[in-house]
Structure 1
Amino acid sequence: MSADTMTLGDVSITRVIEWSGPVRTARFIIPDSDEDTWRRNRQWLEPDFWAPDDDSYRCNIQTWVLRSEGRTILVDTGIGNDRERPQVPQFAGLKTDFPQRLRQAGVAPEEVDVVVNTHIHYDHVGWNTELRDGAWVPTFPNAMYLIPRADNLYFDPEGPGRSRAPRDEHERVRWEGSKLVFNDSIAPIHRAGQAVLWEGTHRIDGNLTLEAAPGHTPGSSVLTLRSGTDRATFVGDMLHSPVQVLEPSWNSCFCDDPVLAARTRSTYLSRAAEMRELVIPAHWPGHGAAEVRQDGDGFALTAWADLPRH
């Protein structure tokens, strides 16, 4: 079994990292945060989440592999290779060995049963597909891809959300990037007949349930694990950094609806504190996940996940 595997109840969870490193500055990514909070918590934010010398925000792009009730389930699929990404040049044209890393974790593409896209952003859907003979095709040929209906509607370049003209150049670039993401990572899944659109809640099996958690995007979701006495929630991009645990009102710069995103974040952190759920964000380096407790108007981290630091 991989050293990056932990077990909760009857579910094994393995982390497979596609990319790791700095992305912009901490207060670019979490623009509402203040320098004092980062510096007061420097002892545990550095070096996994923050590099004080240049204020760089650090993150992992990673996939969580779940084995539950005899099936293999992937939670988010990273950036992918060979992509055109004008909105994020840092991740354009990647050539990573992610498929080999999956195989090293014991996962062959044809053995994947379910792919969960917590939302449709470029770094969560990339390995949905791969480029073969000049065409984008599903990477996991036997998988059912669970895609939030609200995001599918919102990001579809032919959908009603893109009927008006962009407001400014920033929005134009963002929309063009979203169109590329949809066309190379989502549309091929539909053409292959492997997409399952869901809304509200969606039960995967006796241990795993998807729940709508909008704000970051209209269709953002969380995957809740309940197995025996163990609890966990895969929260996607609800938490880009642990400083958002300390102050749940602080959004990332990528949140589509900041007011709703902050409310959703506070709701799920309250539940995690009350039910002692392990909170598993999409992008945290280090141990990758943590337990939390209520601390005044915010929350505090109480214990890291039983995974090696990366």
Structure 2
Amino acid sequence: MMLRHAMDVNRCGCGLRLGLVEITRVEDYQGPGLKSTGMFPDFRPEMWQAQKDWLVPAFYDPQEDRIRTSIHSWLVRTPHHTILIDSCIGNHKERPVDPRFHMRNEPWIERLARAGAKPEDIDFVMCTHFHADHVGWNTRLENGRWVPSFPNAKYLFTKKEFARWDDRRPDYVHRESERFIFADSVLPVVEAGQMELVDEGYTLDDAMTVEAAYGHTPGHIKIRLRTDGGHALFCGDVIHHPIQLPYPKVYSVFDDDPVQALQTRLDVLDNCAAHGILLLPTHFAEPYLCRIDSVGTAQEPSYMPIWQR
């Protein structure tokens, strides 16, 4: 199957524009990720072979058997506010489970500035979930203390996701890969009085709506953007990698509930395919975003990306 492209996204100097809303990708990491079956236990060689005309080498390295990934934030500027969706990995954080994340010192703040925003310009931070690569820049280290990176922002967290990772709770369930996240990337925001807990259905600027997208984590959300100029969906980790488009049943080892995560993924892909919605994942490598074409059946759903360059 040939790689498909579309040119219907209005690009501007900052990134892309949907009506009066500007969206810019702010990168924290791009390069090799985990081994294929280390990330996706059901990944099989015949999958990438069948899709190699578009999957290799941009999204998968068969020689190293490693997926290629990006970890980025989405900077969204509406006529009223500047919003950051997912805050990536962060610096100086103890993440011994993944060397890519451990004790980093990367110029993400400078990249944010090149995208046109300083930390103090951010009005709202929205995290799709509380995994280490989605909350890291919530805070920065200052004189030995973790403080909010965005001093003027309200951090919008859903009640369900906050409850899942609040390690002060007696019913907290430990996960080693997320061992330090609450203490260094969430609790300092709470203590600074900058957190606002919201429910699914919360809408910001009459344009961006928080919607349930459970499975990857118990409180995972997607964020729907509707403007006069288009319709987009920030899907977080509902979909990690393009291999999950032709093979949506491929699940991630990081999914808390793979069965629910699959249903959420199918719902998102069906919705995007049916309505021409622009999909903005957090981990797709270049060109980072796509529309969705349904090419399967009701019994065996399958999708293909229509890349937006």
Q: Structure 2 length as normaliser, TM-score?
A: 0.92
Residues 127-142 of structure 1 mapped to structure 2, 5 A cutoff:
127-142=137-152
Q: Distance in 1 between matches of 2:115 and 2:130?
A: 25
CA distance in 2, matches of 1:29, 1:131: 30
The residue correspondences of 1:37-56 to structure 2 (distance < 5 A) are 37-56=47-66
- Cα offset, 1:47, TM superposition: 1.9
**CA-CA distance at 1:70 after TM superposition:** 2.5
Native 8 Å contact 2:80 2:205 kept in 1: no
**What is the match of residue 123 of structure 2?**
113
- Cα deviation 1:265-306 (Å, max 9, x = unaligned): 101111111111011111111110111122223233252123
Letter matched to residue 250 of structure 2: W
CA distance in 2, matches of 1:205, 1:135: 33
Contact 1:64 1:76 in 2 (8 A): yes
How many pairs align? 296
CA distance, structure 1, for counterparts of residue 302 and residue 19 of structure 2: 25
Tell me the equivalent position of 1:143. Answer: 153
For residues 128-207 of structure 1, the aligned pairs below 5 Å read 128-162=138-172, 174-175=175-176, 177-207=177-207
C-alpha contact (below 8 Å) 2:83/2:125 kept by paired residues = yes
Equivalent residue number for residue 248 of structure 1:
248
Poorly superposed stretches of 4+, deviation over 4 Å: 1-4
Larger helix share, 1 or 2: 1
Question: How far off is 1:178 after superposition?
Answer: 2.5
How much does 1:252 deviate? Answer: 1.0
Structure 2: which 5+ residue stretches go unaligned? Answer: 1-10
Question: In the aligned structure 1, how far is the partner of 2:29 from the partner of 2:142?
Answer: 22
Please state if 1:70 is matched with 2:73: no
1:76 and 1:116 in contact (8 A); partners too: yes
Shift, 1:17, TM fit: 0.6
- How far 1:4 moved relative to its partner? 5.8
Q: Supply the RMSD in Å over aligned alpha carbons.
A: 1.6
- Secondary structure of 1:159's match? coil
Gaps of 5+ in 1: 164-171
- Offset, 1:40: 1.2
Q: Percent identity of the aligned residues?
A: 37
Shift of residue 130 of structure 1?
0.1
* Cα distance in 1 between the residues matched to 2:258 and 2:68: 22
Give deviations 1:58-104, integer Å, cap 9, x for gaps.
11111110001221111100100000012223310000000011111
1:194-245 Cα offsets, whole Å, 9 max, x none, are 1111222210112211111110000100010111151110000111111111
